[in-house]
Structure 1
Amino acid sequence: MTSKIPAIGYSDGDTDTNRSSNPTIHDIISQGRSRREMLSGGLTAASVFFAGGLLSACGGDASFGGPFGTSPTVTGNATTTARSGNIVTLTGTATDADGTITSQSWTQTSGPTVTLENASGLVARFVAPSVTAATTLGFRFTATDDGARVTTTDVTTSITPAALGFTAVAKSLGDTVIVPEGYSISVLYRTGDPINAATPAYANDGSDTNFGARGGDHHDGMSFFGLAATGTTRDDNSSTRGVLVMNHENINQQYLHPNGPTTVGGARPEGEARKEIEAHGVAVIEVVRSSAGAWSYVQSGALNRRITPLTPTSFSGPVRGNALLRTVYSPTGVAGRGTINNCANGTMPWGTYLTCEENWAGYFRRDAADTALRTAKQNVAMTRYGLGVRTGNYGWATVNSSSADFAKFNITTNAAAPADGTGDYRNECNQLGWVVEIDPYDAAATPRKRTALGRMNHEGCWPGRRIAGVRPAFYMGDDAQNEYIYKFVSTQTWAAADATATDRLAIGDKYLDAGTLYVARFNADGTGTWVPLVFGQNGLTATNATYAFTDQADVLTHCRIASDIVGATKMDRPEWTAVNPATGEVYCTLTNNSSRTVAGTDAANPRAYTDPKTNGTSTSGNPNGHIIRLRETGDTTEATGFTWDIYAFGSGADLSAANINLSGLDATNDFSSPDGLWFGRATNPSGLVTPVMWLQTDDGAYTDVTNCMMLAAMPGSVGDGATRTITNTIGATSGTQTARAGRAPGTTLRRFLVGPKECEITGVDSTPDGRTLFVNIQHPGENGTPAAPSSNWPNSQTGTATGIRPRSATIAITKNDGGVVAL
């Protein structure tokens, strides 16, 4: 039969052209009742769904989906409360009854911005940010299934201000490094470790050579400089790769040779002396953290290098080219060789490292005949800097060699040489005692000695806060008994753009080569004055009867004498300086002073007493030291006045609370001989709001009770304590003195680490995120012999290690949960 097909005209949508097998609404209704009654909503839900409306998710969270199946079911939880610097965990779950979860993620919805780790996983983490008061942070967990259906849930966590978050460790006389529960340490870089691919592993039996390509001895001041993931590019935000620049202050001479040091006919063997010389100086060492979190140093790092007492250097600033610097090596007085006895340090905001030459005078030989060959003025200067008649540390000048490597350590005048010093090394001693700037990102850059900062036993040089348009200051201590605290104020005002300049040493030229050097005078009423050391002022003239200064170069080269003349306050061995990044207050450790007498006390150095030891001996003076702090007038680095008090007095907990233990120290925080000092970086919560101050000790008075240690503190501010009157007694002599004591530290000061036998704890820095702390362990077992070492550290750290020679080393400390160290 033939059927007639009608003509197709305007249909108004009533013509069925869909020939697919997709279900009709009748099919859905009839089948969906067995499918949770159309998502538990029956015909009503089906009607809403058909209209494209919003479906309700578990807990009322929003879900969006296509036409079929159920949306994901999600839950979310967060750490309820956490302190700044702690790890916060966000935990989500996501399930789907009839499909597959294809993605999930955490995002932040409110509060200070944080960086989420594993944000696309079920469990995300972040470091609680710095806050000044309890602050709520919001986060959203989102899950999506294979039908493109989305469900979310929101959670919150409350962040409270930072506080010390560890239990204090006990004092110890053991041979391991002890840190609080919940922390781990790893040994990173040791004396003798090879720093290039060509140098063999360290045998540690005295046979090793070529310390110019090995880790030096006596690890000391240290800074971390971030590197980009590849190459040698500076990256100040990197916490996984960088270079550690550190000082190698001195040596454990006995362990560097098979059977200790030797002499032949009164002369040191050249090979032994060269090894000892090269073990001093500075190191630049690349370090990296693996994806598993372990730190290691990179033996073949492109930036690795050693700067030793034999490395060429240049002079900059007012003393450059002056007659005082002329030697046979540098007749023009613009160049030098090497740096030595590098103790504390400084990190410059433009990405360079300052190393500071401390006890350099002892390395020089000076024969008795030299006194008659020098002028009266020269002899005054030599005496004031401790350059008396001596053979010189380690006898390097006795080596039978014509090499300048050894001859430079003999400063005895050669009567046959030119009187201007260009024919011998009579002026070599004037080439040391400076602050030296090093560019860690340029292995070919010549270190520069910054003479505008003065010549002394430099312990460290730390920059104050930088404010655009304000001249920056740099704070220093002269580490010897009854010496002074200094600051240098640049002529140039700070420009923030200089912090990221690529010609870093040129920026150092700008800020460190011209300015005013000041010395501190502390008044009994808690005020103080910065006295300028400028030629022609305050008695620093060519007619001064004590010392006739020639010019400003003479003042800077002999700034100790200049400070004597202007009436600076003699201090109890000023060591490290550190600046609180939140307040700008300056702290300085005053390690101890065995020559402090009862009659010689003053308000800034108020204690003189006898400290008993458990072995029946005792020490007198100020054997336990203290920490002084000052606040610049107007909170500006340009100020010439300040207020001050004493943050804490070193003491055993059992000593007199009325006259010695003025800070009320107890078994969790008593200490002696404060030395290293450093504040947490302002790039993480340990350096914000209430920054953590790290305090390290180099002790002789308390070592019958405990090895040296490191403490963490959250100090208050200048003036937060009270004035006290104390009675000092040494033997039959007694007298009273006023002490301007800060508030008792209490639980805001805690012992964080105790080192191995006979060590000093010195040198500290962290990664920018504050989650790794680098610390140096110096000269463990320093009193032992090759045959009977008195420590076996670092080998003893991981087990029994009998008879193995100890080595100074850098350790990396991390919190097991990944949080910021100390918080």
Structure 2
Amino acid sequence: MAHDLSRPLDPFNDEDSNTTPNPHIDQIVQARLSRRGLLRGALGGAGLVGAAGLTACASTGQGAVASPLGSLGFKPVAKSMADMVVVPEGYTATIVYALGDPLSASTPDFKNDGSDTAFDQRAGDHHDGMEWFGLDAQGKPSRTASARGVIAMNHEATTDQKLSSFFLHANGGASTLPRPASEIDKELMIHGLSVVELQNDGKRWAYQKASPFNRRVTTMSDAVIHGPARGSEHLVTRYDPTATKARGTLNNCGSGKTPWGTYVSGEENWFGYFFRDAQDDDRRKKDKQVQALVRYGRKAGAASRHGWESGGSDERYARWNNGALAASAKDDFRNEMNTFGYVVEIDPYDKTQAVRKRTALGRLGHENCTFARAVAGQPVVAYMGDDARGEYIYKFVSAARWDAADAEPANRLAAGDKYLDKGTLYVARFKDDGSGEWLELSMDNPVIAGSSYFEFKNAADIAVFTRLAADAVGATKMDRPEWAGVNPKNGEVYITLTNNSNRTPAATDAANPRSYTDLKNGKEQKGNVNGHVIRLAETQPAASAFKWDIFLFAAEAGADKSTINLSNLSDANDLSSPDGLVFSQATGLCWIETDDGAYTDKTNCMLLAAVPGRVGDGGTRTLTHGNRTVTTHAGKPQTPATLKRFLVGPKGAEITGITETPDGRALFVNIQHPGENTNMADIGNPAKYESHWPASVGYGVGQRPRSATIVITKNDGGLIGS
């Protein structure tokens, strides 16, 4: 999850490379676009966090679902700026798994003082998207088990200022180049994924330190390239001239669970980890990759996020310099950046199999990947957002038709090969009449095959340079598409559009209709400051057209209800910057998490529960921007009965991944980067840390804040949210 645009730290999380004059909605020149080529139908007293305990869930549109609740059965929590997790009366939140927790019996307990090592055997940093995978009493995979299971989890990034992960190192780390190799080695290990076993003994949840299922995937782990980019000249590196293998996964953000029972993770803001010097464009001369490098946020001479390339000549450092430094791509790492930016898949039950990078789903700033309910005889369909200002919403439709026998395959990753390696990728175009269309990204589309914007020779080019293909067909530029979720009751797709400081009044359109000024601590914030949630309805998931409306306009309760607070939000449910979005398979509730910087003068980030409606349940709203008007399509206004604040996090934290047990009685939520606004110069003075959570509530030792997973249960044992 990329940080909110108003947060001053971490500019690499606010990638902004879509400077194309891509038209908005109805500005496409129709004569240039062939409908036949673009629109190919794919079918032809609040509870406070304490220590100990654990649980998780599935959120992928699989399995049975109860009818959505008619209302929300809990008292909303108030906004809070306290350094704690606040949940409703009648609920308990317990910390179960935090940065540095050991994942093997031989790994020492976490000291949390900057001296710890062996992070390839510990929980990584910045807990993010996660999914639940059940285990029965014999330790076998189970889709219904709710007392024992493994959680597969993303570790997106690290809390950093001036290059280093300052809470990870004893003295805060080096702030100048070259970086010490020992610091880089730690940072290479805290990124990636983890798989951790959790059990409930009837009294409490706890993670199992010595479980044989426990696993870390880091930036150095083996990965295999699958799909159309396998063997592409654009993925050739010194590490693997055959372009069939890569190393590791990076900046993993949102998650998903496949119909065949594997875990998928989106590689998001990977571009900032690389460096190429100011002369690199000249060395590449007429190489078309110069255009692609800039479009993916990597300008020549720009500093990298952590300076990993400065650690020495060893390949584990040299690979982060993606300049054209040798005679050919086989002799350097000019293409290393092209090996990132994909949806990656693992089998959380089988640590012997390497990560697979599914290039058919495109290369972009992937947030998450969510699947429509699989239907026998129909293609498998997945939805994805590209999290950056002015980027796009995508859909993948498999070539293979779903076979129900693959729900329990002998080899789960082989099933992934079947459904994710071949298919068609589409990008969304929104029309101002509330309809939309999926534009095909393939060489069968004459706009791409004959593009003068960028030369596409084959399917591998589209897979590696997906953003440029979407530019070429005229997709609609959106306000940072993040998580997508599928309503299990009616199949409608909800997508969070977190915010966009670049959305000017002149650039507003029906799908992104707001541009306004908001004040925070007396300072102006402009654009679509608070973000919104859009939703799509299709006649079937593989359809080439859709209807849309805006389910929720995020806003402060006191904002103008005619121009900003269009969803009629109150103190019980106002919010800013919706980010994570997951539907409960047990209740049908829609959970919405925030990654906010615009409203943090009034409240820490939060989790809300919503009762979803359906596309078209509201009406149109017309907004005036100077001498022009924009008419949008809005869902019905919210009330405290349909949208409530369920949780508020500690200081500086983002509320990230979320999953539940199949019975809906344990909800897992990730708390990412508490205390991120701490000044690096104060590393030796814990009294000045912005946050001390979770040690401040009894979990672990030391005073340095840690990203962590909590489990929320209802005190009467009931369904969460009911």
**What is the TM-score when the length of structure 2 is the normalising length?**
0.88
Distance apart, 1:256 and its partner CA: 0.3
Post-superposition Cα deviations, 1:510-544, rounded to whole Å, max 9, x if no partner, equal: 11011100000000000000000011414112x52
Distance apart, 1:357 and its partner CA: 0.3
Q: Which amino acid aligns with 2:371?
A: P
Aligned ranges for residues 78-89 of structure 1 at < 5 Å? none
Is the 8 Å Cα contact of residues 760 and 780 (structure 1) preserved in structure 2? yes
Report what 1:155 is aligned to. Answer: none
Question: 1:283–1:536: structure 2 CA closer, same or farther, 3 Å change rule?
Answer: same
Separation of aligned partners in 1, 2:553 and 2:719: 28
Separation of aligned partners in 1, 2:703 and 2:558: 36
Q: Is 1:776 aligned to residue 670 of structure 2?
A: yes
Report what 1:601 is aligned to. Answer: 508
Separation of aligned partners in 2, 1:811 and 1:240: 16
Separation of aligned partners in 2, 1:698 and 1:734: 33
Post-superposition Cα deviations, 1:558-616, rounded to whole Å, max 9, x if no partner, equal: 11111111110000000000000110000000000000000000000000000112x11
Q: 2:606 aligns with which of 709, 716, 719?
A: 709
Q: Is 1:758 aligned to residue 652 of structure 2?
A: yes
Is the 8 Å Cα contact of residues 70 and 611 (structure 2) preserved in structure 1? no
Report what 2:43 is aligned to. Answer: none
Q: Is 1:749 aligned to residue 648 of structure 2?
A: no
Distance apart, 1:509 and its partner CA: 0.5
Report what 2:690 is aligned to. Answer: 790
Q: Which amino acid aligns with 1:572?
A: D
Q: 1:619 aligns with which of 510, 520, 525?
A: 525
Report what 1:169 is aligned to. Answer: 77
Post-superposition Cα deviations, 1:691-738, rounded to whole Å, max 9, x if no partner, equal: 10000000011001100000001110000001011124xxxx564211
Q: Which amino acid aligns with 2:630?
A: Q
Q: Is 1:322 aligned to residue 232 of structure 2?
A: yes
Distance apart, 1:417 and its partner CA: 2.5
Q: Is 1:630 aligned to residue 536 of structure 2?
A: yes
Aligned ranges for residues 657-736 of structure 1 at < 5 Å? 657-681=561-585, 684=586, 686=587, 691-728=588-625, 735-736=628-629
Q: Secondary structure of 2:461's match?
A: helix
Question: 1:462–1:161: structure 2 CA closer, same or farther, 3 Å change rule?
Answer: closer
**Structure 2 stretches of 5 or more lacking a match?**
1-63, 160-164
Report what 2:496 is aligned to. Answer: 589
Report what 2:716 is aligned to. Answer: 817
Is the 8 Å Cα contact of residues 112 and 702 (structure 2) preserved in structure 1? no
Q: Which amino acid aligns with 2:524?
A: S
Distance apart, 1:162 and its partner CA: 5.4
Is the 8 Å Cα contact of residues 111 and 702 (structure 2) preserved in structure 1? no
Q: Which amino acid aligns with 1:695?
A: I
Aligned ranges for residues 240-251 of structure 1 at < 5 Å? 240-251=147-158
Distance apart, 1:550 and its partner CA: 1.4
Separation of aligned partners in 2, 1:366 and 1:652: 42
Report what 2:22 is aligned to. Answer: none
Is the 8 Å Cα contact of residues 556 and 565 (structure 2) preserved in structure 1? yes
Distance apart, 1:131 and its partner CA: 7.0
Report what 1:76 is aligned to. Answer: none
Q: Secondary structure of 2:637's match?
A: coil
Is the 8 Å Cα contact of residues 310 and 337 (structure 1) preserved in structure 2? yes
Distance apart, 1:502 and its partner CA: 2.3
Aligned ranges for residues 542-561 of structure 1 at < 5 Å? 543-561=450-468
Question: 1:208–1:803: structure 2 CA closer, same or farther, 3 Å change rule?
Answer: closer
Q: 1:406 aligns with which of 278, 295, 317?
A: 317
Separation of aligned partners in 2, 1:477 and 1:794: 31
Q: 2:308 aligns with which of 396, 415, 422?
A: 396
Separation of aligned partners in 2, 1:180 and 1:734: 46
Report what 1:55 is aligned to. Answer: none
Aligned ranges for residues 241-390 of structure 1 at < 5 Å? 241-252=148-159, 253-262=165-174, 266-292=177-203, 294-374=204-284, 375-389=286-300, 390=302
Separation of aligned partners in 2, 1:523 and 1:536: 23
Q: Secondary structure of 1:255's match?
A: coil
Is the 8 Å Cα contact of residues 695 and 702 (structure 2) preserved in structure 1? no
Distance apart, 1:465 and its partner CA: 1.6
Is the 8 Å Cα contact of residues 451 and 472 (structure 2) preserved in structure 1? no
Aligned ranges for residues 30-109 of structure 1 at < 5 Å? none
Deviates more, 1:790-799 or 1:718-727: 790-799
Q: Secondary structure of 1:492's match?
A: strand
**Structure 1 stretches of 5 or more lacking a match?**
1-128, 133-159
Separation of aligned partners in 1, 2:191 and 2:689: 21
Post-superposition Cα deviations, 1:246-287, rounded to whole Å, max 9, x if no partner, equal: 0000002110011111167x3111110010111111000011
Is the 8 Å Cα contact of residues 111 and 701 (structure 2) preserved in structure 1? no
Q: Which amino acid aligns with 2:507?
A: G
Post-superposition Cα deviations, 1:110-139, rounded to whole Å, max 9, x if no partner, equal: xxxxxxxxxxxxxxxxxxx9876xxxxxxx
Q: 1:197 aligns with which of 105, 112, 133?
A: 105
Q: Secondary structure of 2:136's match?
A: coil
Report what 2:25 is aligned to. Answer: none
Separation of aligned partners in 2, 1:299 and 1:802: 17
Post-superposition Cα deviations, 1:81-135, rounded to whole Å, max 9, x if no partner, equal: xxxxxxxxxxxxxxxxxxxxxxxxxxxxxxxxxxxxxxxxxxxxxxxx9876xxx
Is the 8 Å Cα contact of residues 789 and 803 (structure 1) preserved in structure 2? no
Post-superposition Cα deviations, 1:441-500, rounded to whole Å, max 9, x if no partner, equal: 001111100010000000011001211111121000000000000000001111111111
Q: Which amino acid aligns with 1:320?
A: R
Question: 1:314–1:793: structure 2 CA closer, same or farther, 3 Å change rule?
Answer: same
Separation of aligned partners in 1, 2:256 and 2:423: 18
Separation of aligned partners in 2, 1:721 and 1:174: 36
Is the 8 Å Cα contact of residues 185 and 814 (structure 1) preserved in structure 2? yes
Separation of aligned partners in 1, 2:260 and 2:435: 32
Q: Secondary structure of 2:194's match?
A: strand
Report what 1:212 is aligned to. Answer: 120
Deviates more, 1:779-788 or 1:296-305: 779-788
Is the 8 Å Cα contact of residues 243 and 287 (structure 1) preserved in structure 2? yes
Separation of aligned partners in 1, 2:565 and 2:94: 35
Q: Which amino acid aligns with 2:120?
A: G
Is the 8 Å Cα contact of residues 263 and 269 (structure 1) preserved in structure 2? no
Distance apart, 1:802 and its partner CA: 11
Question: RMSD over aligned Cα, in angstroms?
Answer: 1.6
Post-superposition Cα deviations, 1:777-823, rounded to whole Å, max 9, x if no partner, equal: 00000011422321011122359x99811000000000000001001
Separation of aligned partners in 1, 2:444 and 2:454: 13
Distance apart, 1:297 and its partner CA: 0.4
Separation of aligned partners in 2, 1:204 and 1:803: 5
Q: Which amino acid aligns with 1:744?
A: P
Is the 8 Å Cα contact of residues 538 and 566 (structure 1) preserved in structure 2? no
Q: Secondary structure of 1:380's match?
A: helix
Separation of aligned partners in 2, 1:806 and 1:538: 53
Q: 2:706 aligns with which of 795, 801, 807?
A: 807
- Count residues in correspondence: 645
User: What percentage of residue pairs aligned between the two structures are identical?
Assistant: 52
Separation of aligned partners in 2, 1:425 and 1:283: 27
Separation of aligned partners in 1, 2:531 and 2:217: 32
